[in-house]
Structure 1
Amino acid sequence: MTDKNEPQEKTEVADSPVTTRRGVRSFVLRQGRMTEGQKKAFDRGWAKYGLSREDGMIDPREVFGRDAMLNLEIGFGMGKSLADMAEAAPEQDFIGVEVHLPGVGALLKEIEERGLENVRIYNIDANDVIDLCLPDACLDRVMVFFPDPWPKKKHHKRRLVQSEFVQRIRHKLRVGGILHLATDWENYAEHMMEVMGEAEGFANSQGVGEYSPRPDDRPITKFEKRGERLGHGVWDLVFHRTN
Structure 2
Amino acid sequence: MGRRALPKIDQTLDLSRHFYKVETLPAPWDPVAIFGREAPLEIELGSGKGLFLQNAAMGTPERNFLGVEVAYKYAKFIGHRLAKRGITNAIAVHGDGLKMFREQVPDASLAAVHVYFPDPWWKARHHKRRVMNESFLEDVVRTLQPGGKLHFWTDVKDYFDSALELIAQVTPLVGPLAVPEREAEHDLDFRTHFERRTRLHGEPVYRSEFVKQ
Provide TM-score, normalisation by structure 1.
Answer: 0.76
Task: Give the whole-Å Cα distance in 1 for the aligned partners of 2:71 and 2:111.
Answer: 25
| 1:236 to partner: Cα distance | 1.0
CA–CA distance in 2 between the matches of 1:215 and 1:94?
23
Q: How is 1:148-167 mapped onto 2 (pairs within 5 angstroms)?
A: 148-167=119-138
What is the distance in 2 between the residues matched to 1:233 and 1:101?
29
**Cα deviations across residues 64-122 of structure 1 (Å, max 9, x unaligned)?**
22221211001100112211111111111001101212222221222122211001222
Provide the residue aligned with 1:189 in structure 2. Answer: 160
* Map of 2:186 onto structure 1: none
Specify the code of the residue in structure 1 equivalent to 2:170: A
Which residue pairs with 2:9 in the alignment?
A: 37
2:198 aligned to 214, 218, 227, which one? Answer: 227
Mean alpha-carbon deviation: is it higher for 120-129 or for 171-180? 120-129
Give, in angstroms, the shift of residue 197 of structure 1. Answer: 1.5
Q: Is the counterpart of residue 238 in structure 1 residue 205 in structure 2? A: no
Of residues 163-172 and 127-136 in structure 1, the stretch that sits farther from structure 2 once superposed is: 127-136
Q: Tell me which moved more, 141-150 or 169-178.
A: 169-178
**What amino acid does structure 1 have at the position aligned with 2:180?**
P
Task: State how many pairs are aligned.
Answer: 206
Answer yes or no: is the 8 Å Cα contact 1:144–1:181 preserved in 2: yes
Change (3 A) 1:127 1:222: closer
Out of 17, 20, 24, the residue aligned to residue 48 of structure 1 is 17
Aligned to 1:16: none
Counterpart pick for 1:106 among 77, 90, 95? 77
Deviations 1:124-183 (A, max 9, x none): 100221123222111000001000011222221221101221011211111211011000
Q: Distance in 2 between matches of 1:56 and 1:127?
A: 17
**Unaligned 5+ runs, structure 2:** 184-188
- Residues 38 and 108, structure 1, Cα contact 8 Å, conserved in 2: no
Give distance in 1, aligned partners of 2:201 and 2:117. 16
1:71/1:140 contact within 8 Å kept: yes
Q: How does 1:1-243 map onto structure 2 within 5 Å? A: 4-6=3-5, 36-37=8-9, 39-41=11-13, 44-45=14-15, 47-51=16-20, 52-54=22-24, 55-204=26-175, 206=177, 211-214=178-181, 219-242=190-213
CA–CA separation in structure 1 for the residues paired with 2:212 and 2:204: 27
Q: Secondary structure at the match of 1:96?
A: strand
Unmatched runs of 5 consecutive residues or more in structure 1: 7-33
**Corresponding letter in the other structure for 1:178:** K
